[in-house]
């Protein structure tokens, strides 16, 4: 009984998020289907992921390599996204499991992704994580470093395809305050999208979470990463 209620709650929450997403898209003069909802499932058990997939979710986001490893076999076929900070020594565990890595923030990491992708004979889609607000506490690189890194990857990493940018806005009680930040990242995105190269194919601007995704969509996001608003508050003490 509890299980059914849980599944039902997840389904309703996804419907609700999809509705707000559609309204935000229309307000921004864009098409709902051009904005991808990635369900963020960190700390959640495989049953919750499967419930989300049954409710229409096609893309799952995890911020830890270990959680992808632990859940992978128990979850129905879905596209996995690594959205959290990635240590170079863990790339090998997920290189053949994820559809895209959102959190590339150093040349060293890009090189390791490239090396592992080459071993598996695949091309990995990545986003560069930018930190336009230049907060010390967050990973991601500054505006100036971003262009340098894009050039480096295009020249040296033949098994990486650059698909766009990702950012995490500083937390503000009032999400409207982060609009300026999102707009800055969108500006960078548009600038880099113009670089002509066969392995630069910008399609995703990954920004917006549970409490700020409407603002992010208004400012040009086309991929939102939503956890709490679908699955409820996280309990980090509970093991999966």
Ligand X SMILES: *Cc1c(COP(=O)(O)O)cnc(C)c1O
Structure-token pair, residue 17: 């998020």
Is-contact 7 54, C-beta < 8 A? yes
Q: Which residue is nearest to ligand X (CB)?
A: 227
Nearer to ligand X, 53 or 154 (CB): 53
Structure tokens at 180: 């300026």
Q: Which is nearer to ligand X, 38 or 117 (CB)?
A: 38
CB of 96 to ligand X, least distance (A): 22
Query: CB of 224: closest distance to ligand X in angstroms?
Result: 9
Please give the full DSSP string across 81-110, using - where no structure is assigned.
EE-S---GGGHHHHTTT-SEEEEE--HHHH
Strands, E assignment, 105-147: 124-130
Q: Closest CB to ligand X among 75 and 159?
A: 75
Q: Which of 111, 40, 30 is nearest to 82 (CA)?
A: 40
User: Smaller CB distance to ligand X: residue 24 or 83?
Assistant: 83
Q: Which residues bind ligand X (CB under 6 A)?
A: 40, 42, 63, 83-84, 168, 209-210, 225-229
Exposure string of 15-41, with b = 16+ CB inside 10 Å and e = fewer, is eebbeebeebbeeeebeeeebbbbbbb
For the bound state, the minimum distance from the C-beta of residue 40 to ligand X, rounded and expressed in Å, comes to 4
Q: Residue 102 Cβ, how far from ligand X at the closest point, in Å?
A: 7
């Amino acid at each position: 009984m509890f299980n059914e209620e849980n599944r039902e709650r997840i389904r309703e929450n996804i419907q609700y998020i999809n509705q707000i997403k559609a309204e935000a898209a229309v307000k921004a003069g864009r098409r709902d289907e051009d904005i991808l909802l990635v369900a963020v499932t960190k700390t959640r058990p495989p049953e919750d992921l499967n419930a989300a997939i049954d409710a229409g979710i096609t893309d799952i986001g995890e911020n830890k390599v270990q959680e992808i490893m632990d859940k992978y076999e128990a979850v129905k076929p879905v596209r996995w996204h690594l959205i959290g900070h990635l240590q170079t020594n863990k790339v090998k565990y997920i290189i053949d499991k994820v559809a895209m890595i959102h959190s590339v923030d150093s040349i060293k990491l890009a090189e390791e992704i490239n090396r592992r992708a080459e071993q598996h004979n695949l091309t990995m889609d990545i986003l560069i994580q930018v930190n336009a607000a230049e907060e010390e506490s967050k990973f991601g690189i500054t505006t100036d470093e971003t262009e340098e890194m894009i050039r480096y990857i295009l020249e040296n990493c033949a098994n990486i395809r650059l698909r766009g940018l990702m950012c995490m806005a500083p937390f503000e009680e009032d999400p409207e305050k982060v609009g300026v930040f999102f707009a800055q990242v969108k500006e960078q995105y548009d600038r880099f999208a113009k670089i002509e190269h066969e392995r630069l194919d910008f399609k995703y601007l990954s920004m917006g979470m549970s409490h700020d995704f409407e603002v992010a969509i208004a400012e040009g996001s086309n991929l939102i990463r939503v956890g709490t608003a679908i699955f409820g508050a996280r309990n980090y003490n509970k093991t999966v």
